[in-house]
Chains A and B, each alone.
Chain A
Amino acid sequence: MSCMRRFCHETQSHDSLHSCMCRRSVALLLLKMSEERDPAALSGSAQTEGEEDLFVSAMESPEAARLSAEDISPSSNGPRDDDPDDPDDLFAEATEEVSLDSPERQPILSDGPSPAITPVTISPRVDVFDRSPDLDEDEEENRDTFDIQISVSDPEKVGDGMNAYMVYKVMTKTSLSIFSRDEVCVKRRFSDFLGLHSKLASKYMHMGYIVPPAPEKSIVGMTKVKVGKEDLSSVEFVEKRRSALERYLLRTVKHPALLKDPDVLQFLESSELPRAVSTQALSGAGILRMVNKAADAVNKMTIKMNESDAWFEEKQQQFENLDVQLRKLHASVESLVCHRKELSVNTASFAKSAAMLGNSEDHTALSRALSQLAEVEEKIDQLHQDQSYADFYLISELLGDYVRLITAVKGVFDQRMKAWAKWQDAQVMLQRKREAEAKLQYASKPDKLQQATDEIREEIEEWEGKVQQGERDFEQISKNIRREVGRFEKDRVKDFRVVIIKYLESLVHTQQQLIKYWEAFLPEAKAIA
């Protein structure tokens, strides 16, 4: 790789023995290939983001999110470029810490208008964010009342053929002052959401923030919609996606740092959003993502971290177990959804055959009873269908979300490992420089000695600084992760509790209906004479 010889931006050195896969060089290479400007997919690209003008207005907002100055400073060693126009510099002067939990926070509800297309009779929207006045032990913050409602609705098809896409209306109602208006309505398409996530991930993941993952792409699903099939499956697909996008946004704004992020604000507020083509799988950025993923996998295998903190080891193991079990549970629930749908279909078909049997039965009372049975079964089939929707929208989607969230959590732990590796690497470099200095003492040419000594001294200072920075970064990310994990766990407990209770309530409703139907049928059966 060419970075072996050139100045490597990652480690800010000329060292050719640097073992990390230098993404910056690959990125620059690929950028030349693709004509699209794609700022965010690259980690801290050298190119400035086109939307920086819009960020200026956000910068002026007094309540801009502030992160600890130690985290991000223009001179920090990081994959970020020292670009003065980099909007991330927004946080350069930050002094306050971000709190995770504020006692005055109000529920974040998704209260918007019902989606245009919905086969669901049980409301799929869940008040997932229940409030309880608990304080984060580490931080407290005085905040004004904090409320925001976001809804994603009215999916509309734009264009046709294979270039068609769905556009969703995103409505934000809020009283927060960082927003320019109380109520904003914008139109966004799926790739916009992906673009937002991609930007947020590149900005925050390496600091240890758990960035909520965006909904997954689905080529099959989208193709059906594009082709214009108006059947039930494509309607369901659109509804599933709409609901997933809404949950995604709600989770994102629930994160105190992300809520203040200019990209998020822009996404929610500005009427025109530059198209995030970098999210396409086959774009230059897409390929870069794949390269990154491979690099990460390799790194993960090669980095052997000495874990000094048992908390991290324990948590990682817990998340590993949780991941396995949630996936299993998700698979079982998906199977249940499928079988219940099947049950509904089969019940309906049985109802029809029972009605036919009733018709051909020549004993009047029995014939009537059989027709009644057919009616009961028909109602029950509808009940099963509704229940399967509840199964799906309440439980299955929640589990799917959490499986993806846990992947993000694991990613954050990996980031910490990388930070540690960087710190260790810096220490190794420092050691080498010191050895080089020592060796210089025995060097021959005295005239060049002074210059060489000065040079080496400079480098040593540089690397000492890097070591310190590395340690600080590592400590900061560790701290962030602890906080994030604490927040995540609290949210997880709330989410699951609320959803499971809602689900059980739906089951109760089903049983009550069943009782009603059979109680109505029983006298009919008894009346057969």
Chain B
Amino acid sequence: MMQEGLDDGPDFLSEEDRGPRAVNVDLQTDATLQVDISDALSERDKVKFTVHTKSTLPNFKQNEFSVVRQHEEFIWLHDSFVENEEYAGYIIPPAPPRPDFDASREKLQKLGEGEGSMTKEEFTKMKQELEAEYLAIFKKTVAMHEVFLCRVAAHPVLRKDLNFHVFLEYNQDLSVRGKNKKERLEDFFKNVVKSADGVLVAGVKDVDDFFEHEKTFLLEYHNRVKEASAKSDRKIRSHKNAADDINRIASTLYTLGTQDSTDLCKFFLKVSELFEKTRKIEARVAADEDLKLADLLKYYLRESQAAKDLLYRRGRALVDYENANKALDKARAKNKDVLQAETTQQVCCQKFEKISESAKQELIDFKTRRVAAFRKNLVELAELELKHAKGNLQLLQSCLGVLKGDT
């Protein structure tokens, strides 16, 4: 349906750079592997992303190459990380949400059906708006997929993952199908078991202060972010509704201006023009708030969940370790299968310690990333709000000047 390049995207992503939302902590690894989504195509029911890689790493055949990937392949990659025991000690970058154009498509369809009931101008206007909305959603989904890839590329361990390299390089279809019903059902049960287990594991008091604190903190933080994210969505929706109203007002004023026989006609036309412009600015304000604030909150909702998952895995490993210890003591007491119990205990111990070590670093990095991202976005939000308010003000004042001067 629509083909969009991202070269004109600067006003959507941060103004200076189109880098990943999460700021890289370790800048040295940047040059060796750079990933981005250079192009995207939206078709009837799927989006095709062109993943572009630049790398000096020896395991790639070329230095620069591109492949086309779909959303399911991203999910496959994410899941492969989650299922990999080796990565139990890392915060797995959250999977990008599925591209959802349903709402926008529905609106466009409704508009098409209602074409007869409105004037040509109104129709064109609304069509333009809906197309702009579609475009915005499109850009967003592209950005979110890109962020995921960049996070993986920035992670010292994950970037070496074989599946990741296949994902980046293999220029044929990965033949990853979406999960069928049976698999989805399995997933569902797995999640149920996991949450129940999570509760159990969380109940275990941790000796380590750092992790204990993190546990409490993350739980509360995750909930608060969830709420803030929901509230900010609602706020932005109201803002968009108000902007739509101003749009309709501008149209009606225009009609009034063309019909009026008194001096008011010029007046109405000028005000109509003003409202057209201010409405565009209001819509931009809502869009920017969406980007800088709402998306930020949504992202950290997902990442805080991923961090919670890490803590769960560590907790699980701790419980396993403690159980193994108990089993070992029992075995020693009975003097039966001692060697086996010892091996199990060793394995559990190693696993737990490995996870603990990397988890600590991961959580510290998480905090750093979070603070940096919030800072960046809040600053940009404030700057954009200022820019738009000043723009609005200037329009209003100049219009007022003209109108007052007329009388």
Option from A322, A349, A508 in Cβ contact (under 8 Å) with B393: A508
Say if the beta carbon of B386 comes within 8 Å of chain A.
yes
Do the beta carbons of B242 and A501 come within 8 Å of each other? no
Contacts of B263 in A (CB 8 A): 493
Give CA–CA (A496, B386) in the complex, Å. Answer: 31
Chain B residue at minimum C-beta to C-beta distance from A505? B400
CB distance from A368 to the nearest CB of B (A): 11
**CB proximity to B under 8 Å, residues A471-515:** 489, 492-493, 496-497, 500-501, 504-505, 507-508, 511-512, 514-515
Q: A346-B231, A353-B227, A504-B400 are in contact. Are A332 and B264 (CB under 8 A)?
A: no
Contact assessment for B241 and A339 in the assembled complex, using a CB-CB cutoff below 8 Å: yes
* B224 with A360: CB separation less than 8 A: yes
Q: Give Cα distance in the complex from A526 to B375, angstroms.
A: 7
Number of interface residues of A (CB under 8 A): 56
B: contact size bracket: 35 or more
Q: Which residues of A contact B264 (CB under 8 A)?
A: 492-493, 496-497
Task: Report whether B228 and A514 are in contact in the complex, using a CB–CB cutoff of 8 Å.
Answer: no
Tell me if B371 and A515 are in contact (CB < 8 A).
Answer: no
Instruction: Give 1 or 0 for each of B50-79: 1 = CB within 8 Å of chain A CB.
Output: 000000000000000000000000000000
Q: Which residues of A lie under 8 Å from residue B397 when comparing CB positions?
A: 508
Q: A528's closest neighbor in chain B, by CB?
A: B375
* A366 contacts B by Cβ under 8 Å: yes
- Chain A residues whose C-beta falls within 8 Å of the C-beta of B255 in the assembled complex: 325
Q: With A497-B264, A521-B382, A528-B378 as given contacts, are A342 and B238 in contact (CB-CB < 8 Å)?
A: yes
B residues 388-407 touching A (CB-CB < 8 Å) = 389-390, 392-393, 396-397, 399-400, 403-404, 407
Residues of A at under 8 Å CB distance from B?
Answer: 318, 321-322, 325-326, 328-329, 332-333, 335-336, 339-340, 342-343, 346-347, 349-350, 352-354, 356-357, 359-363, 365-366, 369-370, 373, 489, 492-493, 496-497, 500-501, 504-505, 507-508, 511-512, 514-515, 518-519, 521-522, 525-526, 528
Docked complex Cα distance between A507 and B255 (Å): 23
Given A508-B393, A508-B400, verify A325-B252 contact (CB < 8 Å): yes
In the complex, B385 has a CB within 8 A of chain A: yes
What residue of chain B has the Cβ atom nearest to residue A490's Cβ?
B262
Q: Inside 8 A of A500's CB, which chain B residues have their CB?
A: 267, 271, 403
Given contacts A508-B393, A526-B379, contact A357 B262 (CB under 8 A): no
Contact digits for B238-275, partner A, Cβ 8 Å, 1 yes 0 no = 11011001101100110110011111100100010010
Which A-B residue pairs are the 8 nearest by beta carbons? A343-B238, A336-B245, A528-B375, A525-B378, A350-B231, A346-B235, A353-B228, A511-B393
Q: B403, A504: Cβ atoms under 8 Å? A: yes
Chain A residues near B238: list those with CB within 8 A: 339-340, 342-343, 346
Q: A321-B259, A336-B246 in contact; A356/B227 too (CB < 8 A)?
A: yes
Could you give, for residues 355-387 of chain B, a 1 whenever the CB lies within 8 Å of some chain A CB and a 0 otherwise? 000000000000100110011001101110110
